[in-house]
A and B are shown apart, each in its own frame.
Chain A
Amino acid sequence: MKLHPLDRKLLRDLWRLRGQVLAIGLVIASGVGLLVMSLTSIEALRSTSAAYYERYRFADVFAHVKRAPESLAARIAAIDGVQSVETRVVRGAVLDVAGFDEPVMGQLVSVPEDGEPRLNRLALREGRYPQSGKPDEVVLSEPFALAHKLGPGDHLRAVMSGRWRNLVVVGVALSPEYVYTIGPGALMPDDLRYGVLWMGRETLQAAYDLEGAFNEVSASLLRGANPERVVDEMDRLLDRYGSHGAYVRADQASNWFLTNEIEQLETMARFLPTVFLAVAAFLTNMVVARLVAVERPEIGLLKAFGYSNAVIAWHYVKLVLAIGAVGTLLGWFFGYWLGLYSTTMYADFYRFPFLLFRPSAGPFLLAAGASVGAALLGAIGAVRRAAALSPAAAMQPPAPPLFRRNRLFQPRLFERLDQPTRIVLRQTSRWPLRALVTSLGIAMSVAVLIVSMQWLDAIHRIVDVYFFAAQGQDLTVGLVEARSSAVVGGLARLPGVLAVEPMRTVAAKLRSGPRVVRGAVQGVPSHQSLYRVYDAQGTALDLPPDGLVISTVLADRLAVRPGDIITVEVLEGRRPVLEIPVVATFETYIGRPAYIDIGALNRAMHEPPSVTAVHLRVDPLFETRLYRELKQMPQVSAVNLRSAAVSTFNETLAKTMLIYVGFFIVFSATLACGVAYNAARIALAERARELATMRVLGFSRREVEYILIGEIGLLTFVALPLGAGIGWLLARWLVRAFQTELYRVPFVVEPSTFGWAILGGFLATLAAVLLVRRRLDRLDLIAVLKTRE
């Protein structure tokens, strides 16, 4: 096949411009890669979870009760829209795993002995379900089993109804209910200290005195059923059995985390690739505009020969398409790899028994369309200029750029500058838009760094506030149910206990006018020394003798202010309905708590002083003995160690977040390098003649470099603080976009983050400029003198 001469020119142009083509290609590839990664991950997470939920019959509606008769199951099944119903016994228990001192918390969940459950089936990884007549058989959740290296045939112990039971592992499984397994009061999965155990239903019914009854029910819905109506109906049926209220799948903890992750990925898919593709559009514009300027005589000649405007335009469009194609192909490759990598990481973090990573063409086509579109959009002006050149004018050299004295520069100051510096300033201010956009491109790389590193700052702040400033206890002991406060004294006498503080949590509906929030009211001492009511702004609050102190999120949800009255419908005990004034609000990062003085709460409940949890400060020397004692206490259902919570929190983040921050550092370096490299190459191309002239006039290499590097340096000097500002704004925006009911990422950008981001942008620019500087040494001094520009 014989190439058309114009196409041959195109190929040679591409080869000659390969450095710049590659630089733009990498910026496009970053955008495409990020987009493909996010979209394929979203797709994989969606299809994997949908298939998993479907295959293992994940329920649509859930409700916990204190105790309800089994006969109720049929009435729930009769609710319009309900497909099938599964009743279960679910209880928390303290476990003892050989070789692990600290108390371990388990969630015991019943499964039928006579076959698979109708809903929420287990994905057995090893072994089998517990069998009828073998009350000690248990199936472990896989992450927990892996963390403790347990498998079929191994043993562990659990406190059930105050008695130690020896259990034998018969299976290891995953469950659609526990894609994300998080213990009560924890922020991150801790597979060593929290696990799910499935046991025979009869065993659990017998152990917890629930024969012929259940304490948890889940239901699947018919296609097209209205979940809200089913929830209302279930609430009506379950209300008098101590229900805290039915909830839909969207509010189920594990699923909530998963969908939230997908939403965050969607936010990212919208935001970050846009930045990269916008910069790519600008870079394409710069390169094509320069090319058209250089090739003016050729364009004129071609037109004089009779080539049409359309052919000329198409020639340059093909160049842009080629640049876009380089970026897109690279980006597809990166994106596929990153998508697979991140999905695999997700599959490890969110526990799926299988992984469907079968990216459809959609993300790839969308990314290709977006990137080529961006490149074309960027080049359109230059291409049109090429097409519009009249042949006669094109063959004339362009008029030299007209410079004027700039009012921007103070004459008196300007006159003190040397000529090379004046050149730098005049060149920069002569094309202010280009200078601005170049600066903006470099600035965006700093901004991307700030946005990604901001998460680390935010998380340190959360850890500082949530785990250190607010929590003075070393561990928290959760009780099976509300106990007389005598238990506090009992715990205080245990070995190594230095201080104790009671807490009582009651489930409640909080209502203000038409607004209702299902949650809890926590009773704590009015002056707390261990578990503090802590405002994220940095102050601990004392509670008033009467009245609620609530988090600002809750106040917003209920649209109340201090002084307003909230109706508290307690869902436990005698279920009193209380009218309590809001006394103060405070800022929290996690949850939406409401606090009240514990004495006032107990009085309102018409109960003697009771507690549901006790916070302890302990002497580390006695830890092991204390754990042993706690494991022996039947009323203890949970033990949360603050140090363990902090370390899992940090480990999890190190596994996930740091890797992403690493990616973003690479991406933002690409951005800064791409912009600076192209800007420097074009500055060099445009100034080659003047720079060579100066070398002839006796300026040394270094003095000439000053002009080239000075210009990029000036733009970078503007870009770095600009990027810090943009990064600050973007981070603030993203933090808001990522706010959820469960947690609010604080907006914190540490000075060191600004420092690192600025250093990163600077180094990436420097690297690009050093690459271009080498070309300056190869300037042909003689050639430029002999040619007219």
Chain B
Amino acid sequence: MSTLGTQRPVLRARDLGKVYRTGEVEVHALRGVDLELWPGEMVVLLGPSGSGKSTLLNILGGLDSASAGEAWFEDHDLTHQDDRALTRYRREHVGFVFQFYNLISSLTALENVALVTEIATRPMDPAAALRLVGLGERLDHFPAQLSGGEQQRVAIARAIAKQPDILLCDEPTGALDSQTGVLVLEAIERIHHELGTTTVLITHNAVIADMADRVLVLGDGRIQQQRRNSQRRPASELAW
């Protein structure tokens, strides 16, 4: 990444902290995380459950607010925004992919994608987005008529069809078998390659880290370790 010096990070966080209070118990999910994400970068967040990776992703995605520290998307302060502004941020800049797909069961694959493109500022053609994830033949299928891997690829198409600045994927292969998981990762890789979207991928599966530019290992609410892969492995070569 020779251009790093001249570019500004898409997302950055300074000393980010998050405390959950459930009854009498305080849970420190994040304890001072510093982070920068660069345009076109693919970052994998690794860590055991409870390490704070989802909390970090939720704050970066505008779904949750931090208890301490700051998070910025380009020039926008994410930590001091109201619900309306965060909604606009998610709508215009962020694409989400979840572990359990979260498709709308009453809409077809195409319509699930169109759901997002209808409110986006610079959307792709929904059918083109689905072709990009290899589902050009299944546009008119309802979620109940698709396999898990296919459903997840619809979710990916839905996330990238708005051409977001950042694509956030929370355990996208968590509910899938290895073979199907690889298909999904290939889709994410292809999107990243063709659209150059900054991508953050959460997983507790260390193998997947090999497809990233950079790997951040979280533990106990902190970034414990950071490494850069000298060479990204293609998703098709991954197996677990």
Which residues of chain A have a CB within 8 Å of any CB of chain B?
Answer: 399-405, 418-420, 422-423, 426-427, 430, 689-690, 693-701, 703, 781-782, 784-789
In the bound complex, how far is the Cα of B84 from the Cα of A694, in angstroms? Answer: 14
Q: Mark B95-122, 1 if CB is under 8 A from A, else 0.
A: 0101110101111000110111011000
Tell me if A419 and B111 are in contact (CB < 8 A): yes
Within 8 A of A (CB), among B65-124: 83-84, 87-88, 90-92, 94, 96, 98-100, 102, 104-107, 111-112, 114-116, 118-119
Tell me if B104 and A423 are in contact (CB < 8 A): yes
Excluding A696-B63, A699-B119, 15 further A-B contacts by CB distance (< 8 Å) are A399-B144, A401-B105, A401-B106, A402-B144, A419-B115, A419-B118, A422-B107, A427-B106, A696-B96, A697-B91, A697-B96, A698-B119, A785-B100, A785-B102, A788-B100
| A–B complex contacts, Cβ < 8 Å, 10 sampled | A400-B143, A422-B106, A694-B115, A698-B92, A698-B116, A698-B162, A699-B87, A699-B119, A785-B100, A788-B100
In the bound complex, how far is the Cα of B142 from the Cα of A782, in angstroms? Answer: 25
The A-B contact count (CB < 8 A) is 91
Instruction: Kindly list the 4 A-B residue pairs having the minimum CB-CB distance in the complex, ordered from nearest.
Output: A698-B91, A426-B106, A419-B115, A698-B90
In the bound complex, how far is the Cα of B96 from the Cα of A698, in angstroms? Answer: 10
Find chain B residues with CB under 8 A from A698 CB.
87-88, 90-92, 94, 116, 119, 162
In the bound complex, how far is the Cα of B162 from the Cα of A710, in angstroms? Answer: 25
Find chain A residues with CB under 8 A from B111 CB.
419, 422
In the bound complex, how far is the Cα of B61 from the Cα of A693, in angstroms? Answer: 13
In the bound complex, how far is the Cα of B106 from the Cα of A400, in angstroms? Answer: 10
Tell me if A423 and B106 are in contact (CB < 8 A): yes
In the bound complex, how far is the Cα of B96 from the Cα of A400, in angstroms? Answer: 21
Shortest CB-to-CB span from A747 to chain B, Å, is: 44
Tell me if A404 and B142 are in contact (CB < 8 A): yes
Residue B170 at the chain A interface, CB threshold 8 Å: yes
Closest to A691 in B: B104
Closest to B151 in A: A400
Closest to B100 in A: A788
A401 with B92, Cβ < 8 A, contacts A419-B107, A423-B107 known: no
Tell me if B143 and A786 are in contact (CB < 8 A): no
Shortest CB-to-CB span from B133 to chain A, Å, is: 17
Shortest CB-to-CB span from B94 to chain A, Å, is: 7
Secondary structure dominating the interface of A: helix
Residue B180 at the chain A interface, CB threshold 8 Å: no
Tell me if B91 and A403 are in contact (CB < 8 A): no
Q: Which of A690, A701, A787 has most chain B Cβ within 10 Å?
A: A690
Number of interface residues of B (CB under 8 A): 38
Tell me if A693 and B142 are in contact (CB < 8 A): no
Find chain A residues with CB under 8 A from B116 CB.
697-698
Find chain B residues with CB under 8 A from A699 CB.
87, 91, 119
Closest to B117 in A: A419
Find chain A residues with CB under 8 A from B54 CB.
782, 786
Find chain B residues with CB under 8 A from A404 CB.
142
Shortest CB-to-CB span from B200 to chain A, Å, is: 15
Shortest CB-to-CB span from B36 to chain A, Å, is: 24
Shortest CB-to-CB span from A417 to chain B, Å, is: 10
Find chain A residues with CB under 8 A from B106 CB.
401, 403, 422-423, 426-427, 430
Find chain B residues with CB under 8 A from A422 CB.
106-107, 111
In the bound complex, how far is the Cα of B142 from the Cα of A420, in angstroms? Answer: 15
Closest to B90 in A: A698
Closest to A696 in B: B96
Find chain A residues with CB under 8 A from B105 CB.
400-401, 403, 690
Q: Which of B83, B91, B115, B175 makes the CB contact (< 8 A) with A788?
A: B175
Closest to A418 in B: B118
Q: Which of A404, A694, A696, A782 has most chain B Cβ within 10 Å?
A: A696
Find chain B residues with CB under 8 A from A420 CB.
115
In the bound complex, how far is the Cα of B63 from the Cα of A784, in angstroms? Answer: 12
Shortest CB-to-CB span from A671 to chain B, Å, is: 29
In the bound complex, how far is the Cα of B102 from the Cα of A789, in angstroms? Answer: 9
Shortest CB-to-CB span from A695 to chain B, Å, is: 7
Tell me if B104 and A690 are in contact (CB < 8 A): yes
Closest to A781 in B: B63
Q: Which of A402, A427, A690, A700 makes the CB contact (< 8 A) with B84?
A: A700
Residue B145 at the chain A interface, CB threshold 8 Å: yes
Closest to A690 in B: B104
Shortest CB-to-CB span from A474 to chain B, Å, is: 69
Q: Which of A401, A697, A701, A782 makes the CB contact (< 8 A) with B115?
A: A697
Find chain B residues with CB under 8 A from A689 CB.
102
A789 with B91, Cβ < 8 A, contacts A423-B106, A426-B107, A698-B116 known: no
Find chain B residues with CB under 8 A from A427 CB.
106
Closest to B143 in A: A400
Q: Which of B112, B143, B170 makes the CB contact (< 8 A) with A785?
A: B170
Shortest CB-to-CB span from A552 to chain B, Å, is: 56
Closest to B159 in A: A697
